[in-house]
Copies of this chain bind each other. A is one copy, B any other.
Amino acid sequence: MQDKKITDLLESFQAIGRTKNQGYTRTVYDQAWCQAQKQCVNIIKELGLVPWVDEIGNLYATADLTWPKEPVILVGSHLDTVVDGGLYDGLYGALAAVLSVSQIVKSGQRMGRPLVAVIFSEEEGSRFDATFTGSQYLLGRHLKDFEHLVDARGQTFGQIRQAAVAALSPFVQTASRLKIAQYLELHIEQGPILEKAGTDIGIVTTIVGQERFLIQLAGQANHAGTTPMDCRDDALRRAVGLLADLYRELAQIPDLRYTIGKVQLEPNVANVIPGLVTFALDLRHQDQSVLSEAVGVVAELVDRYRAKLERTTAVMPTQMDAGLQEEIAGACQSVGLTHQFLPSGAGHDAQVMGEQVPTAMIFVPSVGGVSHVPEETTTPADLENGQRVLTAVLAKLVG
């Protein structure tokens, strides 16, 4: 497997967790996830590295059978997907990490620091009501914080985690927690910016902060035929007013991303006046003060419409390490690729890692800017470009 490319590695996952919509569903610890993890172990071994697994199911690849005690250069991404997601989100960066580590090991370069690739067990939160459990565990979060979580079928995180990790144990070494000097993650952009600009490589400056709310308006459900217009308390009619005001007011805040993605009515029947409307509002910005300003605008409007506001997510923006950003820019120049700096609108493991260790992210263009759908794709040239830059940066860092 001397001359394997990143595209070859990705191709070997095309039959794992494939859905009828031609997408991929690998939620943490499910059958497709276990199968994909086993395939990663095979790849790690074929590339001449040593595979390890920790108790939450994070997979690691090292140069030899020595589990590092000193701080490491860590590089990786996650194995799980959203439901009916694409082939590249997470898996691309995870496989590229293993490939880059193997290439550096193989080059015979002297390593001043141990180099470890990681394939995080879970990032998307598609099975349990928790995200980033793999990276959180690695940074010291207790297993028992997650063990009680229950999925849609009533299975607990604890039960299925043990079974999944036990299934892999005969084939791998047992990993304990690492000390981490720096963390690098390669990922598809999942947006249209690089493609539109015609840039080869994106260097992430900040992972945006995110606030998510449920907003609820109550009215009185009643018969659509027999209730005169002036006797109605129509929850949807008021909600439409609030929604229109939210779209208009939030548009005034520069660079804010705001999305109303989910709306639910009760009883949601054609001939009944809506009695209750609930919708989700997602706000993202790289500057926490702007995000807070947006939250203030929302709270005021919600109040004016006598609606209820419940905050369901609050994540602060995470700055990427400036020195590492410069290293990536230098690596792009050294391999002859163009680059630009941009914030990440999506959450990543790098967001969790970045709170505790110097962290950076490399993006490659997404065709059409689409992601989390079966059509998600990146050109083979861009996939290879990203992995080449990753190798170049890592070679510099371990030197």
Contact = CB atoms under 8 A, between A and B. Distances in A.
Interface of A: 189-193, 196, 208, 210, 212, 221-229, 231, 234, 236-237, 240-241, 243-244, 247, 251, 256-265, 268-274, 280, 282, 284, 344-347, 366, 369-373
A372 B272 contact: yes
14 contacts: A190-B223, A191-B223, A224-B259, A224-B345, A226-B371, A227-B345, A237-B247, A240-B240, A241-B244, A259-B270, A262-B270, A263-B263, A270-B280, A270-B282
Question: Top 5 nearest A-B pairs by Cβ distance?
Answer: A191-B226, A225-B345, A224-B259, A270-B280, A190-B226
Given A191-B227, A222-B371, 7 more contacts: A224-B259, A226-B369, A229-B256, A229-B258, A231-B369, A261-B273, A262-B269
B369 A191 contact: no
Copies in the complex: 2
Given A261-B270, A262-B265, A370 B222 contact: yes
A191 B226 CA distance: 5
Nearest to A274: B261
B221 A373 contact: yes
B272 A231 contact: no
A220 to B, nearest CB: 8
Contacts of A224: 257, 259, 261, 282, 284, 345
Nearest to A312: B270
Contacts of A270: 212, 259, 261-262, 280, 282
Contact of A240 (B247, B274, B366): B247
A202 to B, nearest CB: 11
A225 B208 contact: yes
A369 B263 CA distance: 28
A270 B345 CA distance: 15
Contacts of A221: 373
A223 B271 contact: no
Contacts of A225: 190, 208, 210, 257, 282, 284, 344-347
> Which residue among A190, A234, A258, A270 has the maximum number of chain B CB atoms within 10 Å of its CB?
A270
